Structure 1
Amino acid sequence: MAQGKVWFIGAGPGDPELITVKAARLIASADLVVFAGSLVPRALFEGISATVIDSAPLSLPETHALLRDCAKAGGLAARVHTGESALFGAVREQAALLNADGIDWDVVPGVSSAFATAAAAKVSLTVPGGPQTFIITRLSGRTPVAEAEALPKLAAHGASLAVLLSAAEPERVQAELLEGGYAPDTLVVLGHKVGWPGGEVVRTSLADLAGAARSHGFTRQTVFLILPGQDLPPNASQSRLYDPGFSHGWREGQNPAEGSGPDSAGGSGPDSGPGEG
C-alpha cells in the first residue's frame, strides 16, 4: 500500500469563507481531519466524510499518532490550524516527528488575523510616504521573546505593527509601545474575534489603547494594529505605480524623465510591474 500524506492547513481567522480553495479541497477529500477546536470553526467540516477529531485535549504525541497512522495506512490527513500556521503555530515540532517517521507532509497557507483585522477596518498596513514595513510580534510571557525583539525596540522603528497573543495585558502593550517612541495619537485598531459571529473592530489612539480594550472586554483573541502614517492626506501618499507619470515594465509614463531611476520601465526595481496593491 502506498503511503499517504499529511497536510498542514491554515484555516484563517474564523470566517469559514476565509480559506483557500486548495485548503477546502484537501479538507473535503481527507480521510482524517485533526483541528484546533477552540479556534477553528466547525462549519469548515460540514458534509465531509472524514473522521474529524478536535485536538484541544490531545498532547503532541497523541496528535502525531493520529496523523502517522492515517498516513501509514495510505490516507490523507489534514491538520487544520487557526489563522496562518507559520505564525505562532506548532508546525515545526509536528513536522519533526513526521520526518522522523518518514512521512511526507506539506503546508497550505492561511489568512492571518492581522490581515483580517486590517481588511475589516479598511486600513492599509503600508502607506506611500509613510511606513513601508510591517512587523508582527507578541509580548513575552510563558513563551519568551528575545530581548532584541522586545516591544519597545521594535516600536523604535516606527513601522506599522501587529501585536498578537497579548490581549490579557493591554496596559503593558500600551506602555511598551509609548516607550518605544510611537506618538500617543497614533491610530490603533483593535480586532476582537474578527471573522467570528459577533467579532468587532474598534478604532482608538495609542493613548487610549488599554482603556478601549478594557471597556470593550477584549481580553482574549484580540489583535492590536499600530498604524502610524494613517493621517497622511491621500493626495500626498499615493502609490507611484499608478501615477500617470511613472514608467514601469508594462507602461510608459506620460513624462518618461520621471521614470528614469531604479523603478523605471526596464523592470529592474521593486515597483517595476503590477504586484500586491
Structure 2
Amino acid sequence: MISFVGAGPGDPELITIAGAKALAVADIVIWASSLVPETILDHCSASPRIYDSASMTLEDVIEVYKTEKESNIVRLHSGDPSVYGAIQEQIDICIAHGLDYKIIPGVTSLAATAARIGRELTIPKVSQSVVFTRIASRTSASMPEREKLSSYAKIGGSIGIFLSIADPQGMQEALLCEDSAFTIETPVVIAIRVSWPDEKIIETTLGNLASSLRATGAKRTVLVLVGEALGGQAERSHLYRPDFAHVFRKRSLPGTTIGRRAKKSTSAHL
C-alpha cells in the first residue's frame, strides 16, 4: 500500500493522527528533506528505509513503488498533498500499474498561518472566498492564462500566494492592477517556514509588499496572505444569532432559556 501523507506545515504535532499512524507502520518512507523537517520522522516506529525525494525523479520514485509493492510505503508531502503536491501524476501511474494507494490529508501552511496570526479568512461582508494560487516563473507553461494573479485581485476575497518569492515587485503590481479590489492599505501577511522553529511572520500592507518580501532575504518556503479579512474586524455572523433559526436550532426569543439538558443514559456501563 502506498500512502500519500500530508506532513503538515512543519511542526511534527500538526500531522494528522492518521498520518502519524501511517508512519508508525511504514516499511519505506519517501520524503523531501528540503520541505519536511526531519522531526516528522519521529513518528516512525518500525525502522523504515528512508529515501530522500529531493534527489529523485518521478521515475525513481515509481520504481520504488513497483519493486516494493508488497510493503507499506509512505510518500510524505509537505502541507496537504492535494495543494501543489504533484500527486496526480503519481496516482495515474499507480492506477495504470494496479498499485494500491490512499491519500491522507494534511494541514496547509495557509491554515497554519491563519492560526498563528489569530485570523479568520472568511468574514461576512468582507471575504467569503479563499484562493490558493501562485505566480508562474520557471513553470509558467503550467499556469492557465485565465488564472493570473491580477484576475483574482479584481475579485478580492482572501488570497494565499504560494511558491512566488522570486518576483516580489511583480506580485505587488499584479495585486494592485487596474480595477483591483485591493488597495495599498490592504493587509498582507508574509509567513516564512510557518510552524518551524525558525518561523518568521511579517504583517504589512500591500503597498509595502515588495519591499517587505525583499527585506526578509527568504528564497523559499514563503507564503503570502492578502485580504481585508486579515484586518480582523468583523460584524457578528448570522449563524449564532438568537433570532436566526436553522435545522438544528429554533429561534430564541428574549427571556427564553437557550440550550437543553442532555438526557441521562439508562444503559449500563461495563
Q: How high is the TM-score relative to the length of structure 2?
A: 0.88
CA contact (8 A) 1:127 1:230 kept: no
Q: 2:80 aligns with which of 80, 84, 88?
A: 84
Partner of 2:207: 207
SS at match of 2:173: helix
Q: Please state how far the C-alpha of 1:176 moved relative to its aligned partner.
A: 0.3
Distance 1:156 1:97 in 2: 38
Q: Please state how far the C-alpha of 1:95 moved relative to its aligned partner.
A: 1.5
CA contact (8 A) 2:120 2:229 kept: no
Q: Please state how far the C-alpha of 1:231 moved relative to its aligned partner.
A: 4.5
SS at match of 2:11: coil
Number of residue pairs matched? 248
Partner of 1:57: 55
Distance 1:187 1:29 in 2: 44
Q: Please state how far the C-alpha of 1:230 moved relative to its aligned partner.
A: 4.5
SS at match of 1:240: coil
Change (3 A) 1:230 1:31: closer
Q: Please state how far the C-alpha of 1:228 moved relative to its aligned partner.
A: 1.6
Distance 2:232 2:55 in 1: 48
Partner of 1:176: 174
Structure 1, unaligned stretches of length 5 or more? 257-277
Distance 2:123 2:102 in 1: 34
Partner of 2:152: 154
Task: Name whichever of 42-51 and 58-67 sits farther off.
Answer: 42-51
Is it true that 1:186 corresponds to 2:182 in the alignment? no
Q: How high is the TM-score relative to the length of structure 1?
A: 0.85
The letter of the residue matching 1:204 is T
Change (3 A) 1:198 1:80: same
Structure 2, unaligned stretches of length 5 or more? 255-270
Partner of 1:224: 224
SS at match of 1:110: coil
The letter of the residue matching 1:209 is L
Q: Please state how far the C-alpha of 1:255 moved relative to its aligned partner.
A: 4.9
The letter of the residue matching 1:222 is V
CA contact (8 A) 1:160 1:225 kept: yes
Cα RMSD of the aligned pairs, angstroms, is 1.6
SS at match of 1:17: helix
Q: Please state how far the C-alpha of 1:229 moved relative to its aligned partner.
A: 4.2
CA contact (8 A) 1:8 1:105 kept: yes
Q: Please state how far the C-alpha of 1:75 moved relative to its aligned partner.
A: 1.3
Q: Please state how far the C-alpha of 1:254 moved relative to its aligned partner.
A: 2.3
Partner of 1:273: none
SS at match of 1:162: strand
The letter of the residue matching 2:136 is S
Superposed CA deviations along residues 139-189 of structure 1, whole A, max 9, x for unmatched, are 011222212100111111111101100012111111100005111100001
The alignment-based identity, stated in percent, is: 35
